């Protein structure tokens, strides 16, 4: 029997990407989808690329919960908490692609999102779904906070260096560049083709909501509080996030030590591809796949470590990772349905 | 036992795309690959997107022939004839992505390519591999001439109208627009990023080599000689061909008749998606997949029929169709390994 | 004393482009601008590229009329007629970038736009502002209907062949491809970056409103009624329209005759660049300028003439041509302020 | 009498851009151009966008020196030193867009470029042509080392903060993103359209040759040796460099102080546009112009200053700045011929 997967918010980009991947997942099937904006419409009317492949009609949230074993929610922040409770009561697994369960500190959630935790017990039972770093905690859980897009690539780039104490946790800088789909499907002036095309700029400099989430992950790895400077930029491409991460090397640390640490740390990770010396991580090489490519660099002249990661913001940064979490909590091989080959061009 | 597939010319774009699709084909596996320019290199060194997925080393042509049940050749024209003979002698299936076996008339081959047929018997035993139009002839054959990219989309757009005599075979115009990968992997001034980006132009106006090939297919459908005007253009996108095809409606023919003819003609074709009235075929919706989307339009004011097809030039226009042909000649379901979901963005 | 130019609808794309060109026009200055959506805002707040160059505040329509010698109106259709009357009464020149005065036949205007002529006398006194074809009628006029974007490139590509009777006026096909700015500044799903990028499709096939306008121009040149099939497509680039125009050659007409006719016809036209044999018009080469590049091709096999024109839809297809008309009606050299060099990349 | 300008290496991108700007310069004219690869060809054959605007034939180097008052050289490094001597002997001004005269330390030149200074006296008489920082030294000079592209934007972003001691000179990070034209006109695999499009990656991480040049400028401003970590990235756009520069704030420094320092420092600089709080520098807004837009940001949480600059790598980063230097050494208003309006789209 296949896992019955439901998608709430299926017509947003993350929802559409969940559909793309689930359609070829050998152990799961899409049981129901919902959309507030397109209720009653076929998904293939919203996304003609899915014609004849997913002609399911968008229903409502309750139908999805009822028909599914696992519910993926791609909702604006603030709306997932009640839904999580509803799923929990119905004995369903809940994987949240929104932000409601990502931050463990209610204070930080209030500060950055302006909302409160509705049910503290539920939050305690939820887990942050970044499998490469927190696999053991995820297994067997039923409420998963799927990380945000920026918050997957940057921590994966830095994790081994921080976990093994090879770099200073002071003064870390994350300079990220994201494709446009990260801003969602709703048209606005900033994403209007002629104003974005041939352009490039930073946004929300040092005040993007993914900052505390990256810090939470790095702090766990460092076993102490880590603060970073995070500057996201908008790339004129559809997909991909490249995160260029800077950290000061601790005294005497060599490139060989760094590389050895990364190789050890990611030894058994299918989705992490550690690039050889001289190579540069490129979003071109991971598009449409769940891979995270990482390249390592050292600036000997200034004692700076530069780790660069490339992920597809919609796959490893959203839908793919969510399905990786699904595989994990249902006891499947973690790569099931996710062995997508990133096209060469 | 899986089919052992070999690829000659694996480091070109068509070869790389064959690899992408074969890697997830459930009934075939890549037995060997070759490349003149990169012999001795791993494919993943040439295309880092394949790292850990296809780290096969490029060998030579003879090794590929020896190790494979079916050989895909992506070679410059003129080089496939000897190879076909070699494969034939060794009892291997041969699927040619080049031009050597596409034209049935040696005269036309001489005129457009400047080469001769080396072995007439071999040419007679080869078949033109456009399954939607010539499926029955393909079955059981061992030398397949896989169509060129333009020569798939335009005939599929016009076939039912011509086969059923709904339009005039005089004055047909095919205005095609192709993504850049159609021009191959070798860098040149015309494909240099800054000179192509934000540009758009026609090329080889009314003298592109795919002209006689399109005419050959249309002539078979019409059961008489058809000449067309064919103008290809270069689009600043990676993939996709949109062909806007114009033909004069025969007296009294209605849109309803046309639509009915297309529905009948393509009734059982998985890879043909006939779009509803009002929709427009878009290369955005078929990228990375083997689909051919077709939209139908009538200009009542001038009595002109406009059929528009969208294919991925590298999939339905090259590697995907080659694998469709492989499935066909090995007796597999034609869609095996080709149920790729075109991404929504 | 410089000409005082006013712009109504300055925050739309055509308005913004008028500003760009007028800012360096040696004989004109921007006296006032208006915008319904951004009244009270500086233009440079709407378009930060104009910071320190045009920090004028958007006022209302009446202020613009009062302060200006010539009023450029970039308004949705239906709104220009009253404004034209107001300008006329105030003794001001009026150059309309909208559609209200383009069609001479009220019937056609009703059919395609659903509106009526408010003041027939005003319509009679207006003139269609395509200087290369109707220069003499434009001089001294005070109400100019500036052509639409598609309606400049296609007629210029075909004019000499039609005026000199070298091609049939039956069965003409215009297959045009336009950059995205043609669809305006208002964001919508179709122009949302991720859905347009790497895509390409036709739209309003055989029913675009520019059809009767192209026909009107061609009919004047042919001295008889001409009907065409017009299919516009949307290119994933910011600027430019390439129009590939197909017409049947009249018996015995040679390429030499065609070229001679074009050379004669455009002999003194600064903005028309007739390309040599073998070259292909490319939107890359005319961006940001008022040039119209034209390449000529003949398909001997089918007796088809192919003329291809490339213009910048926002310059020769809108703002540049409007300023060319301004120069003309104010007795300036037609190229004043318009000798913009199209960048090489 | 207009200044007679000659361009050596006119068919490269910097050369072509010099032509574009000089063609509308009111006080200069192009006297002669040369090109090794295209000698004997018209420039408009190499760049069809210049047809009818610059149909000059490419001659040789000696002709250019002879016919010109000022020689712009856009040559591979190592080739400018002899040419500078030749120009100097002939009493001509020499503006070098290459690297030979940029570094004052021969040791650094050897380390990063592997070449030696041929004539130390000549090097002493040359000056680094970044007018906003070194205007007084430039005036009256005849050998100008025009800065490299990255080496203009980053120093301009940081200059006031460093000159006024508001940030630490330790640990400065410059994360730059450049359009493709920076890599020149010669096609290669990395700039081949399908492999760059929809991609993004860093290159020459912490070992790009512009590093010592940026350090030289910052060291002068700081009056002490400054080392930086510099990581360039390749953007899939034609033009523009965005440099995101990170520096630790000195104790107690406020945003108000920073802004005041920048306003003072750049008070009379036409080409520097200091953006208001909340705005983000964007390469979209300075394309084709000589402007450098700068936005200022502070990360209070970590005490980090973020200054972001946007320039057109081919204008303020190459040809425009070279002409700004020409204006300066010929005693013209520095903005002559450079009041180009960056298009709104």
DSSP string, B165-222: T-B-SSSEEEEEEE-GGGG-SS--GGGBHHHHTT--EE-STTT-THHHHHHHHHHHHH
3-state secondary structure of D306: strand
Dihedral in degrees, nearest 10, Cα atoms D38, D41, D44, D48: -70
Indicate which CATH number applies to the domain containing B219.
3.30.360.10
- How many domains, chain A? 2
pLDDT at position A186 over 90: yes
pLDDT band at C102 (very low <50, low <70, confident <90, very high): very high
Mean pLDDT of C192-209: 97
Q: Kindly state whether B345 is in contact with chain D, defined as any CB-CB distance less than 8 angstroms.
A: no
Q: Count Cβ atoms below 10 Å from residue B2 Cβ, excluding itself.
A: 12
Residue A345 counted as domain residue = no
pLDDT band at A140 (very low <50, low <70, confident <90, very high): confident
Same domain (yes/no): C62, C185: no
Interface confidence, given as ipTM, is 0.97
pLDDT band at A77 (very low <50, low <70, confident <90, very high): confident
3-state secondary structure of A210: helix
Residue A248 counted as domain residue = yes
Lookup result for tokens 């002997």? D89
pLDDT for the residue numbered B76: 86
Chain A environment of B238 (Cβ under 8 Å): 345
Residue from the list D49, D273, D275 with its beta carbon closest to the beta carbon of C343 = D49
Q: Kindly state whether B304 is in contact with chain D, defined as any CB-CB distance less than 8 angstroms.
A: no
Same domain (yes/no): D166, D288: yes
Chain A environment of C191 (Cβ under 8 Å): 187, 192-194
Mean pLDDT of D303-327: 98
Q: Kindly state whether B257 is in contact with chain C, defined as any CB-CB distance less than 8 angstroms.
A: no
Same domain (yes/no): D10, D141: yes
CA distance B102 to B77: 11
Give C71-94 pLDDT, tens digit per residue.
999 998 889 999 999 999 999 999
Gap from B93 CA to chain C (nearest CA, Å):
35
Same domain (yes/no): D154, D233: yes
Residue by residue, pLDDT tens for chain B (345 residues) are: 999 999 999 999 999 999 999 999 999 999 999 999 999 999 999 999 999 999 999 999 999 999 999 999 999 888 999 999 999 999 999 999 999 999 999 999 999 999 999 999 999 999 999 999 999 999 989 999 999 999 999 999 999 999 999 999 999 999 999 999 999 999 999 999 999 999 999 999 999 999 999 999 999 999 999 999 999 999 999 999 999 999 999 999 999 999 999 999 999 999 999 999 999 999 999 999 999 999 999 999 999 999 999 999 999 999 999 999 999 999 999 999 999 999 999
**Inter-chain CB proximity D302 and A227 less than 8 Å:** yes
pLDDT band at D175 (very low <50, low <70, confident <90, very high): very high
Same domain (yes/no): D78, D166: no
Same domain (yes/no): B14, B136: yes
Same domain (yes/no): D155, D120: no
pLDDT at position A123 over 90: yes
Give A21-37 pLDDT, tens digit per residue.
999 999 999 999 999 99
- Residue A342 carries which DSSP code? P
Give me the DSSP letters along B224-286.
S---EEEEEEE-SSSS-EEEEEEEEBPTT--HHHHHHHHHHHTTT-TTEEEPPTT---BGGGT
D78 close to D96: Cβ distance less than 8 angstroms: no
Give C185-200 pLDDT, tens digit per residue.
999 999 999 999 999 9
Backbone angles phi, psi at C93, to 5 degrees: -75, 145
Give A152-177 pLDDT, tens digit per residue.
999 999 999 999 999 999 999 999 99
Chain B environment of D238 (Cβ under 8 Å): 193-194, 197-198
Residue D267 counted as domain residue = yes
Residue C341 counted as domain residue = no
pLDDT at position D62 over 90: yes
Residue from the list A228, A235, A280 with its beta carbon closest to the beta carbon of D202 = A280
pLDDT at position C119 over 90: yes
Chain A environment of D244 (Cβ under 8 Å): 175, 202, 231, 233
- Residue A216 carries which DSSP code? H
CA distance A134 to A127: 9
Contacts of D179 (CB under 8 A, 6+ apart): B194, D235, D237, D238, D239, D240, D241, D283, D313
Residue from the list A13, A185, A238 with its beta carbon closest to the beta carbon of C197 = A238
Q: Whole-model pTM above 0.95?
A: yes
CA atoms within 13 A on the CB side of A78: 7
pLDDT for the residue numbered A119: 95
Show the tokens assigned to C245: 């125009």
Mean pLDDT of D328-341: 98
Mean pLDDT of C258-275: 98
What whole-number percentage of chain A has pLDDT above 70?
100
pLDDT band at C46 (very low <50, low <70, confident <90, very high): very high
Mutate to test the interface with A, among B240, B315, B344 (most CBs of A within 10 A): B344
Q: Which of D58, D149, D245, D292 is catalytic?
A: D149
Mean pLDDT of D92-103: 97
Lookup result for tokens 């393509």? B266
Lookup result for tokens 């209907």? C145
Same domain (yes/no): A113, A178: no
Same domain (yes/no): A139, A173: no
pLDDT for the residue numbered A180: 97
Same domain (yes/no): D262, D160: yes
Indicate which CATH number applies to the domain containing A23.
3.40.50.720
pLDDT for the residue numbered D77: 86
Residue B73 counted as domain residue = yes
pLDDT at position C210 over 90: yes
pLDDT for the residue numbered C76: 86
Q: Kindly state whether C343 is in contact with chain D, defined as any CB-CB distance less than 8 angstroms.
A: yes
Give me the DSSP letters along B112-179.
HH----S-HHHHHHEEE--HHHHHHHHTT-SEEEPPPSHHHHHHHHHHHHHHTT-B-SSSEEEEEEE-
pLDDT band at D140 (very low <50, low <70, confident <90, very high): confident
| Backbone conformation region of residue B250, classed left if phi is above 0, alpha if psi is from -120 to 50, else beta | beta
pLDDT at position C328 over 90: yes
Residue B87 counted as domain residue = yes
Give A271-289 pLDDT, tens digit per residue.
999 999 999 999 999 999 9
Residue A289: which domain range?
Answer: 150-313
pLDDT band at A76 (very low <50, low <70, confident <90, very high): confident
Gap from D139 CA to chain B (nearest CA, Å):
35
Mean pLDDT of D325-335: 98
Same domain (yes/no): B11, B60: yes
- Taking chain D, what is the end-to-end CA distance rounded to the nearest angstrom? 36
Active-site residue, D58 included = no
Residue D285 counted as domain residue = yes
Chain A environment of D201 (Cβ under 8 Å): 242, 280-284, 308, 310
**Inter-chain CB proximity D192 and B187 less than 8 Å:** yes
Residue A335 counted as domain residue = no
Same domain (yes/no): D268, D285: yes
Q: Kindly state whether B193 is in contact with chain D, defined as any CB-CB distance less than 8 angstroms.
A: yes
Subunits adjacent to chain D (3 or more Cβ pairs under 8 Å): A, B, C
pLDDT for the residue numbered D254: 97
3-state secondary structure of A43: helix
Give A279-333 pLDDT, tens digit per residue.
999 999 999 999 999 999 999 999 999 999 999 999 999 999 999 999 999 999 9
pLDDT band at C180 (very low <50, low <70, confident <90, very high): very high
Give D4-61 pLDDT, tens digit per residue.
999 999 999 999 999 999 999 999 999 999 999 999 999 999 999 999 999 999 999 9
pLDDT at position C140 over 90: no
Residue from the list D48, D282, D341 with its beta carbon closest to the beta carbon of C53 = D341
């Amino acid at each position: 029997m296949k896992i019955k997967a439901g998608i709430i918010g299926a017509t947003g980009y993350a929802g559409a990407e969940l559909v793309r991947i689930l359609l070829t997942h050998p152990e799961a099937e899409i049981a129901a989808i919902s959309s507030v904006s397109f209720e009653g419409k076929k998904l293939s009317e919203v996304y003609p690329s899915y014609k004849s492949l997913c002609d399911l009609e968008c229903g409502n949230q309750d139908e999805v919960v009822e028909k599914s074993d696992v519910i993926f929610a791609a909702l604006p922040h603030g709306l997932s908490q009640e839904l999580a409770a509803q799923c929990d009561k119905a004995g369903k697994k809940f994987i949240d692609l929104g932000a409601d369960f990502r931050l463990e500190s209610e204070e930080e959630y209030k500060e950055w999102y302006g909302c409160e935790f509705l049910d503290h017990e539920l939050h305690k039972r939820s887990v942050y779904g970044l499998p490469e770093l927190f696999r053991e905690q995820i297994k067997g859980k039923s409420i998963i906070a799927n990380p945000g897009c920026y918050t997957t690539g940057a921590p994966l780039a830095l994790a081994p260096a921080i976990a093994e104490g090879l770099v200073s946790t002071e003064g870390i800088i994350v300079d990220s560049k994201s494709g446009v789909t990260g801003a969602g499907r709703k048209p606005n002036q900033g994403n209007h083709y002629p104003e974005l095309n041939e352009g490039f700029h930073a946004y929300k400099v040092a005040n993007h909501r993914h900052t505390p989430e990256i810090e939470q992950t790095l702090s766990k790895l460092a076993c102490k509080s880590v603060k970073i400077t995070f500057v996201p930029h908008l790339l004129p491409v559809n997909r991909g996030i490249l995160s260029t991460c800077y950290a000061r090397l601790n005294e005497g640390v060599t490139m060989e030590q760094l590389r050895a640490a990364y190789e050890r740390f990611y030894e058994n990770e299918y989705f992490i591809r550690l690039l050889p010396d001289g190579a540069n991580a490129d979003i071109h090489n991971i598009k449409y796949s769940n891979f995270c490519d990482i390249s390592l660099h050292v600036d000997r002249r200034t004692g700076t470590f530069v780790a660069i990661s490339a992920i597809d913001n919609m796959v490893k940064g959203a839908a793919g990772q969510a399905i990786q979490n699904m595989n994990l909590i249902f006891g499947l091989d973690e790569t099931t349905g996710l062995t997508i080959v990133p096209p060469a061009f």
